[in-house]
Amino acid sequence: MNMDWETLLVPYKQAVDELKIKFRGIREQFEKSSQSCPIEFVTGRVKPVKSIINKAYQKNITEDRLENELQDLAGIRIMCQFTNDIETVINLLRQRNDFTILEERDYITHKKPSGYRSYHVVIEYPVQVLEGEKKILAEIQIRTLAMNFWATIEHSINYKYQGQIPEDIRERLQRAAEAANRLDEEMSQIRGEIQDAQLVFLERNDQSSET
C-alpha cells in the first residue's frame, strides 16, 4: 500500500485525543458528584500503520475501502471495576449526541473462542478538519479490569506466536479467562462493600488535602 499514512491518520489522532478527554471528563464529573464512578480509566490509540497493513491484507481490504471497513483505526478503551458498570457506560454512550452508534458487539455474553470478553461499540464521530467536517469510524472497547488484564496478556502472547499459540498455552489462557470471569463475579458480589470503602477513602483523602 503506497499511502500517505501521516495525512490519512491526522483526523483519527484528533478523534482519539478528543474522545479521551470527553470520557475522562465523565469520570471527573462522577468524582465531583460523590457518586461511584463506572469508569476506572480510559486509554486510546491510533492503530499503528504496520497493524493496519497486516489487517487490511488479512481481510483483503483495498486502499479505497480502508477507512470504511477498518472500524478501529481510532480505538478507545474504557476500563470499569465491575461488570455491571459496563452496562452503565454503554447507556451513557447511547445518550450522547456528539457521535452516532453504528454497531454494538457483545463479546461478554458471547465470549470469543479464545476466551476474550469485552463490549465493542462502533461509532461515527465528526471531526473538524481544515476542509470542514469529516465523519470517521472509531471503536470503543468497554471491559472490566480483569478482562483487560487477560486481553493485554493474551494479545502479547498472540503477537509472540504470530497467531499460532501452542495448544497447551491456548488452553491455559482459556482457563485464565474463566478465572478472570470468576474474579469479576466475586467482586460483583461484594460491590456495595467495596464502593462504600472507596467513598470513605476518597472523603478522607479530600479532607487531608484540604488542611
> Which residues participate in catalysis according to the annotation?
139
User: Does residue 160 interact with ligand 0O2 by CB under 6 A?
Assistant: no
The alpha carbon torsion through 151, 152, 158, 161 (nearest 10 deg) reads: -150
Binders of ligand 0O2 among residues 50 to 109 (CB under 6 A) are 51, 55, 72, 105
User: Does residue 174 interact with ligand 0O2 by CB under 6 A?
Assistant: no
The 3-state secondary structure of 111-153, one letter per residue: CCCCCCCCEEEEEEEEEEECCEEEEEEEEEEEEEHHHHHHHHH
Closer residue to ligand 0O2, CB minimum distance, 14 or 148: 148
Letters for 23-52 (x = contact with ligand 0O2 by CB under 6 A, - = none) are: ------------------------x---x-
User: Does residue 112 interact with ligand 0O2 by CB under 6 A?
Assistant: yes
Closer residue to ligand 0O2, CB minimum distance, 20 or 105: 105
Distance in angstroms between the alpha carbons of the first and the last residue of the chain: 60
Among 65, 94, 96, 155, binds ligand 0O2 (CB under 6 A): 155
Picking from 72, 76, 64, 62, the residue whose alpha carbon sits closest to that of residue 19 is 76
Cell numbers 496478556 correspond to 153
Binders of ligand 0O2 among residues 116 to 135 (CB under 6 A) are 116, 120
Cell numbers 504470530 correspond to 162
CB of 65 to ligand 0O2, least distance (A): 13
Q: Report the SS3 class of residue 18.
A: helix
Beta-bridge partners for 142:
78, 119
- How many residues bind ligand 0O2 (CB under 6 A)? The answer is 12
Q: Report the SS3 class of residue 103.
A: strand
Closer residue to ligand 0O2, CB minimum distance, 56 or 92: 56
Residues that bind ligand 0O2 (CB under 6 A): 47, 51, 55, 72, 105, 112, 114, 116, 120, 151, 154-155
